[in-house]
Amino acid sequence: MLFNSHEFLFLFLPVAFVLFWYGGHSPRWRLGLLTAASYAFYSWWQFDSWSDLASSFRVGSVEDLGRSLWRWRFTIIMLFSSTVDYWAARWIVSLPQEARTRRGVLLAVSLVINLGLLGLFKYSGFFTRIASDLLEFAGGGPLPIVSLILPVGISFYTFESMSYVIDIYRNVAKPARGYLDYACFISFFPHLIAGPIIRYSDILHQFQDVNWARRDPDWDHVDIGLLFLTAGMIKKTLIADRIAWSIAPFWESLARGESLGFSASWAAVLGYTFRIYFDFSGYSDMAVGLGHLFGVRLPQNFNSPYKALDPSDFWRRWHITLSTWLRDYLYIPLGGNRSRQIRNLMITMLLGGLWHGAAWLFVFWGGWHGLLLVGFHWLKQRGWVLSNDATWRRWVNRQAMFLGAVVGWVLFRSADYGEGQYGLASILPAVRMFAGMIGQGGAAAMAVPLELWAMIGASWAWCNFAPNTTEVIYDPRSRRVRYAILAGVIMGVCVLKFGTPVDFLYFRF
């Protein structure tokens, strides 16, 4: 069920909102209702229609039961993962600090199960193919390739669940009051599928907040939520999807091995650069807005990343909750800035790239950003970085970082065309695109429509000059009534443009 779909906006969301605020007034009712609604939202992804869902409840034999459980397997996996981590954290808390071995074993069991499930579903094809290639190189026979359907959102809720147990182990967070609190934290539908990646300490107090004890909604929260929801819908429906439609022929031509030429290559790459920005930024805005509708404020996940002045600044702005997770649970434990900084940066970024998908080009994308970070710190230590003490210098640094991000997006986007391939063939689309961008791809096979260049130019101006959604909506000087009226009109336009909903890009991760 997509946020940009009729069944979500006109059925699921209104029903969940009314039942949450008016079906009962105790915080426990609201916690239970929100958890049930979130599991219903997640389970919908496993079925094609209402009749398909209904058929999963028809159990007349052991075989029918097995088929039904298989149909619900993704929901069962999330429930299993949540249950393991909830009890692991409870048992860790019950043990004294001196029982380090037993506490460590419980943490290890939790991490092994979480990473095991993630590895099985997301990376089994990647690693079995590598093992098969190595065995064939050594003179043996090929191995069977194991490839499973990826449960939607597993990368996000796995990281959230892991952070909870690790924080409990470190004594830096309080445990959940009960299973229901924890289950709601993991399954809360606004952030479940594609983030932001939240921590229990970010949301714990909000499940106990006085706002949840109200008999009716805080309409200021609702006002803010609808504005965020509309802003995200604009970015997704009117901008990202429009750009996606315009650049699709170029990327499809690349996948067929055809030459794009210089201008078409740059149009395809720049178009994707802005498409992924507005697509993911739009989802993040909608997630924050939906949280507000239920009295919960989720963390900001985007802060105008194309205004970044250097690689470090970029990762403080792009997918903020993922970069802070990697910093706190991987980079710092490896040693951070204290020792072997270059190694720690590269390991963190390589694994961050692999988190996005089981393909060498995702690893190369992470490695590229690792090289940017390492190169920036190396130059900065020697005083060779252009300072930001003048406007023109800031603009030079900003556009240099933007160009670095664009190069990375070539690797990121091209990974889609190597899906299921893990050898040389998987990186050839990126090689062909880079060749076209430097004028070595041969004669252009396709002309670039003027409309696409106009969208690219307008998107560049938006990303460089417009304030981001958080700055506008949370500004106490904003006249929200005026914005709300405008938002209502624009939301109507977005709904009319729905057609067949287009998935958000980060759903696949």
Active site residues: 356
Distance CA 286, CA 102 (A): 42
Contact 185, 203 (CB under 8 A): yes
CA-to-CA dists, residue 426 to 132, 290, 350, angstroms: 16, 38, 17
Cis bond upstream, residue 196 (ω within 30)? yes
Q: Are the CB atoms for 284 and 232 separated by under 8 Å?
A: yes
CA dihedral (114, 117, 118, 120) in degrees, to 10, reads 150
d(CA 379, CA 374): 9
- Expressed in percent and rounded to 5, the helix, strand and coil fractions of the chain are 70, 0, 30
| Whether 4 contacts 491, CB under 8 Å | no
Structure token pair of residue 419 = 């899906």
Structure-token match 């959940």, residue found: 176
| Helices first, then strands: H and E counts in the chain | 25, 0
Q: Which long-range contacts (CB under 8 A, 24 or more apart) does 209-213 make?
A: 209/295, 211/295, 212/27, 212/30, 212/31, 212/295, 213/25, 213/27
Which secondary structure element, helix H or strand E, spans residue 174, and what is its range? Answer: none
* Token pair for 237: 């429906």
**Residue 358 DSSP code:** S
SS3 504: coil
In angstroms and rounded to an integer, the radius of gyration of the C-alpha atoms of the chain is 24
Q: What does the DSSP 8-state code read for residue 97? A: T
Structure-block tokens of residue 24: 């009962």
Nearest to 266 by CA among 281, 253, 247: 247
> Counting Cβ atoms within 10 Å, is residue 51 exposed (0-12), middle (13-18) or buried (19+)?
exposed
How many residues are present in the chain? 509
Q: State the alpha helices, DSSP H only, in 119-240.
A: 124-137, 154-170, 179-187, 189-192, 200-203, 219-233
Distance of CA 76 to the CA centre of its chain: 22
End-to-end CA distance of the chain: 16
